[in-house]
Chain A
């Protein structure tokens, strides 16, 4: 079952621009994690934000979490062609026993 939706489903930008991806979810959560996946390959863990946190930074990544709206956003600043990938949010619901439920993903294309 889908925990959430990601928006947009696809995003195409030029190198150097910022990319913002949004994720919505349905249940109360312990935390929300963002992953990157290059085509047909493994999931790379980007960042985890706890339910009591509102914003977190890691390098060029900035994640926000609004538990009242059940939504999160991932901002990638100064994008590079190597950032081209699918980005998924995944939630650890507080009743789920730590399983992750993934959103549908945003396909980001960064054009050189």
Chain B
């Protein structure tokens, strides 16, 4: 069965640079979520989209923005990167109003040097 696809899998950036992470949800899933997991931490919710509209917002820095496109894929844009942004970034997808069973992608490991 098709899973959530994330790209790139690994990304190394320098401070103050920008990064774009991409997420392709499971086919027919209409809701996308982004989570950040720091080293040794549990995942923290950043933001979610349903039918291309932001549906919920968590602890996402103002330096980050995200959107969902007409084909339901989503991109997380991160600017003015800081050392503390180094983390695993997960995308998850679900069907709206289906118990919101969320399936996660393999994650993008971002390292900021």
For residue A22, give the distance in angstroms from its CB to the closest CB of chain B: 15
Interface size on A, residues (CB 8 A): 26
Does the CB pair A33–B101 fall under 8 Å? yes
Interface of B is mostly: strand
A59 contacts partner chain B, Cβ-Cβ < 8 Å: no
Residues on A with beta carbons closer than 8 Å to the beta carbon of B96: 98
A31 contacts partner chain B, Cβ-Cβ < 8 Å: yes
Interface size on B, residues (CB 8 A): 26
The answer to whether residues A43 and B104 also contact, given A31-B99, A98-B56 and a CB cut-off of 8 A, is yes
The answer to whether residues A98 and B90 also contact, given A43-B43, A104-B42, A105-B42 and a CB cut-off of 8 A, is no
A25 contacts partner chain B, Cβ-Cβ < 8 Å: no
Residues on A with beta carbons closer than 8 Å to the beta carbon of B103: 45
Q: Looking across the interface, which residue of chain A has its beta carbon closest to that of B39?
A: A40
B73 contacts partner chain A, Cβ-Cβ < 8 Å: no
Given A45-B102, A48-B101, A96-B56, 19 more A-B residue pairs with CB atoms under 8 Å apart are A2-B42, A33-B101, A35-B104, A40-B88, A43-B43, A43-B104, A44-B104, A45-B101, A50-B99, A88-B42, A97-B55, A98-B33, A98-B94, A99-B33, A99-B48, A100-B43, A100-B45, A102-B43, A103-B42
On B, residues with C-beta under 8 Å from A are 31, 33, 35, 42-45, 48, 55-56, 58, 88, 90, 92, 94, 96, 99-107, 109
On A, residues with C-beta under 8 Å from B are 2, 30-31, 33, 35, 40-45, 48, 50, 88, 90, 92, 96-105
